[in-house]
Amino acid sequence: MSKIRRDRRTAARAAAILSTAPLLRPAPPRQRAPSDRGGAAKMAAGAAAAALGREGGEDAFRRLFRFYRQRDAADLRGVVDFSAPGGQVFRSQLSISSVSDQDACRAGLQPVSRWKAYGLSGYPGFIFIQNPFLPGCQRHWVKQCLKLYTQKPNVCNLDLHMAPEKTADLWGQSKEKLRRKGSSKCEPRSLLEKLRWVTLGYHYNWDTKKYSANHHTPFPSDLAFLSEQVAAACGFRGFQAQAGILNYYHFDSSLGIHVDESELDHSRPLLSFSFGQSSIFLLGGLKREEAPTAMFMHSGDIMVMSGFSRLLYHAVPRVLPNPEGTALPSCFDQALSSDLPVGSVIEHSSDEDWQVCAKYLQSSRINMTIRQVLAEGQKFPEESGTNTESRAPSEDSHHQENSRAKRHKPTNS
């Protein structure tokens, strides 16, 4: 499909779902105080990035992707930081009554009334929720992503070049090597450190960029419950978590420019959960010629892309050490409370398991993106002669690694 046809199709789809997506009322934007310290420097940095996006040549998104991937930290002052909102950032009001405090707690979340949710001017349907997790609960989701969700029958990049018995228990084969791992870059990597993606539920086909009815495994019930609560708080009651892509990043990783349009139902949001080290996220427009907005994502942050923003181009050009300057963000300091509510999906982690997780996170970031593939009662179109096995990711939808941003090809080396 040509790029022009794809842009037109994406724009048409975005326009079609605007009328069906719930619109949350934004709180009045807060004005930047004239005495805002560093404001001038941030504006100058942002202006420099904007000027770069307006230059001729390759598309604006690609130029800014390269800018943020290669520049030093001194040039990141123009990146939106939701921990110090201002400018185009405004408070979003959530649907507090849609999620009971008990259900939020069962998912490891604070009461919705305490969440800090924001929107961005020019991006209707985009919601940024600043770490709403209860103390200790992020540990559960990290352990699940490393120990449970990596197990069969779920699919991962290592399956492409390794025998099934070699990838059946990545955690068991990696935990001792990770626990003993030192600071030397010359040490052989464990299998978990070679992991780049895992698919859940309806397994995404990286070749055809489609889902299919005959390539499906049960979706994790705890992750489905978490996703349902977040979606309901954002105005999407009845959301069904049907597919997930887990991405595993290191400091030399990035995620290429892409649009998540393979789901058949675009009226439902895309949910994104981040754990571990920080990253820069770029949110663009319906075309790659539109310069994106850069923002920080820290551990525990959640992004919701719905309505107009559901089909926008986006990417992760860079993974950064957490802003606290410590090996792990302080949100991991506190262990899970021993007093969990009845029906909680959160489980305690043993000290031994958490030591492995903590060692992994010192140089890594985990991202979970959850989607509803089909609308209620909708079915997949019949296709013939289609190979539904999951293969290596395409250039625009998977990790790029090393300082030259070369394409990463999953291998067992």
Distance CA 101, CA 112 (A): 7
Strand order in the sheet with 243-250: 89-91, 116-120, 126-130, 302-305, 270-276, 364-371, 243-250, 197-201, 155-156
Distance CA 152, CA 111 (A): 34
Whether 348 has a binding-site annotation, put simply, is: no
Whether 140 has a binding-site annotation, put simply, is: no
CB 230 within 8 A of CB 103: no
Distance CA 142, CA 357 (A): 7
Distance CA 246, CA 150 (A): 9
- State yes or no: cis peptide before 153, omega within 30 of 0: yes
- Three-state SS at 272: strand
In terms of DSSP bridges, do strands 364-371 and 270-276 run parallel, antiparallel, or are they unpaired?
antiparallel
CB 7 within 8 A of CB 286: yes
Query: Considering only CA atoms, which of 246, 262, 286 is closest in space to residue 207?
Result: 262
Chain centroid, CA 266 distance in Å? 17
Whether 260 has a binding-site annotation, put simply, is: yes
| DSSP secondary structure, 230-269, as one string | HHHHTT-TT----EEEEEEEETTEEEEEE----SS--SSP
| Alpha-helix runs per DSSP H in 204-350 | 221-233
User: Binding site, residues?
Assistant: 258, 260, 314
User: Binding site for Fe cation, residues?
Assistant: 258, 260, 314
